[in-house]
Each structure stands twice: as structure tokens, then as C-alpha cells.
Amino acid sequence: MNAFPTLAGWRAPASTNFHGILMSVVVAVAAMSLAEHYGASAMLFALLLGMALNFLSSEGRCVPGIRFSASTLLRIGVALLGVRITLAQITALGAMPVAMVVLSVVLTIGFGIAVARLLGYRTRFGVLTGGAVAICGASAAMAIAAVMPTNPEDNFKERATIFTVIGVSTLSTAAMVLYPMIVSALGLGSAQAGVFLGGTIHDVAQVVGAGYGISKETGDVATIVKLLRVAMLLPVILVITLSYRSHRVEGPAGAKKPPLLPWFVVAFALLVAVNSAGWIPSALQHALQTLSTWLLVISMAAIGMKSHLKDFATVGLRPILLMVSETLFLAMLVVGFMILYH
């Protein structure tokens, strides 16, 4: 289905998608409420609640809207992440944190690929989990999955994406609790603590919670370092897109090459540029950030609805070992970098 139907053809797709989008929104509202009450990941709640309503994606009026929410709304939400970042925020950090973030993202994804292959998984599973750990958690997992090829003969990508979201959300919540204790044990100052927390915790919300739980200065530094990691989403997606376009790595036979630049990646880059120029009023910027969060939670609810619990009954320990090892590798990288340049 065309993601952007013409005006003349809008009414029919809107009517077709309405019920599935509505159910995804209802689940997202419930997930956001639970997340606010319990202080946990809204995406994780959306995924679990959506999986409980899996029957809606099998047949009936909700099917088209669930598919639309899991694909088009996801891409719009990823594009709107661009309003969180400005070039001024990146340059204000100085050379050391920028180099640390770039190297840690590249090395963590490479480590993820190597360990995934060692454990008998496909390369793209290592890219997906490594990218989620290295960049921005569940949002990165969903963005990376959006540019990976889909094999109609299996549902590997959906299963891998859902496992990655569950794993990275759980590990991020654990890090939010444990890493401030590590910061205290290492005797790091406010700025150093911010660099460590922003460079290691997976999701933005958990970085904010851990950083400002220590001090305002720590929270400010942690948030900026984290947003720099979010900015790495653009080049990573471009590299992945070009890789699959050139080599069709592990894609289905006869599949069409993906576009050189997916529209939502272009939109992401344009929003970063416009936001950096200061052309987006603060009120609109806040509104777009909120919209991005909601769209990602809605799309995660829809992805949950498309998933079957039985697919995860045989997960085993290997994927868990993969994500835990990636998380520990990232933390050791950041600590090593901070010691080297202290």
C-alpha cells in the first residue's frame, strides 16, 4: 500500500486502516500510562500488550491498519527523531566525546556481527542487536529493521526485531539502576559521569533518568552525549541501506533493491539541518518530539500484534548472551576511552 496516497485516493485507505490504527493507539495509550506509573519502557509495555492482542492481526478489519502502523507510522516516527538533534549540540561536546561515540558505535556493531556469527546467527541479527545497543535502544532497532530486506518465506526480521526490543529495553532499565552505582564506585566527577551514562545506556529515557538522578550537570552532559549517539543512526542506516542494495546480503532471491536513500532517512537528515538552523520554534520542536515518541510506541504496539508468543518459546540463551555481551563490550569501551583520554 502506498505510504502517501493521493488526495483523491485518501478516503479509501483511511477508511481501510482506521480500525487497526485505532487499536494500535489504544494499546499505546495503555502502554504510556503503565510506563509513567511504573517508570519502565513504554515500548516494552506496548510490545507486550500488543502481543496479547495478536488475534487482531490474523483476520478482520484491523489487519490493514495494523500493517500500516507497523510500517508507515514507524518510519514517520523515526524521521521525526531528527528534531532532537542539532549540530551545535554535537560541536559543543568537543573532539573526545565525538570520537568516543563514533568509535564505540562502529566497534559495538562489529562486535555484535562477530559474536552473532560465532553463535550461529545471521549477520543481520548482529547488525540489529549491535546497532540497538550502540545507538539508541528500541528506536534504533526499529529504524534498522525498517531498511533490512524482508524474506516472505519466513518472519525472521519481525522475530529478531521484537526480541531485540525486549532485550535492549530490559538491559537499559537494568543499566539505569546499576550504572549510577558504578559511577559512584569509580569516583567519577559530574561531567565524566555524564559521558559514561550517555555513552553506555541504551534508551534516551533511561539516560535522562540516570543522569539527572545524580545531578543537573551530569544529566545535561549525559543527554547531549546520548543525542550524539542518536545522530549516528543516520550514517548507520545509510551504510546498511547501501550494503543491502549493492550485495543483497541474505535477502530473498529476486528481491528488488531498496532505494538508495529511504524517504524517512532523508526526512531525518533534513529535520536535523532545519533544527540546527534554528528554524523550528521551541513549541513546535517539543510537539514534534512528543509526536515521534507516540508514533514509535503506536508502531511497536502494532508490531506486537503481528507477533506470536510461540515464536519466542525456543529462543534459548544464545540471543540473551549476545545482547548482554554487546552491552558489556560497550561499557568497557567507554570506560577504556575515558581512562585513555583522562
pLDDT above 70 for 16 = yes
pLDDT tens readout for residues 51-79: 889 889 888 899 999 999 988 898 898 88
**Tens digits of residue pLDDT in 279-288:** 999 999 999 9
- pLDDT digits 0-9 by tens, 234-257: 899 989 988 877 655 444 444 455
Task: Give the per-residue pLDDT at 220.
Answer: 80
Which cell goes with 244? 543491502
pLDDT, residue 49, reads 93
- Summarize the confidence of residues 114-130 as an average pLDDT: 94
C-alpha cell at 324: 548482554
Q: So what's the pLDDT on residue 10?
A: 43
Query: What digits encode the pLDDT tens for the residues 205-227?
Result: 788 778 888 888 888 888 888 88
Of the candidates 10, 26, 142, 15, which has an alpha carbon nearest to the alpha carbon of residue 77?
142
Cβ–Cβ under 8 Å, residues 315 and 172: no
pLDDT confidence of 9, banded at 50, 70, 90?
Answer: very low
Mapped onto helix, strand or coil, the DSSP state of residue 153 is coil
Per-position b or e across 157-184, b if 16+ CB within 10 A of its CB: bbbbbbbbbbbbbbbbbebbeebbebbe
Residue in 143, 64, 121 with CA at minimum distance from that of residue 316: 121
* Distance between CA atoms of residues 207 and 311, nearest Å: 31
Task: Tell me the pLDDT tens digit for each residue of 170-182.
Answer: 888 789 889 999 9
Handedness of CA 89, 94, 95, 96 (dihedral sign): negative
Residue closest to 297 by CA, chosen among 19, 18, 40: 40
- Computed over every residue of the chain, the mean pLDDT equals 84
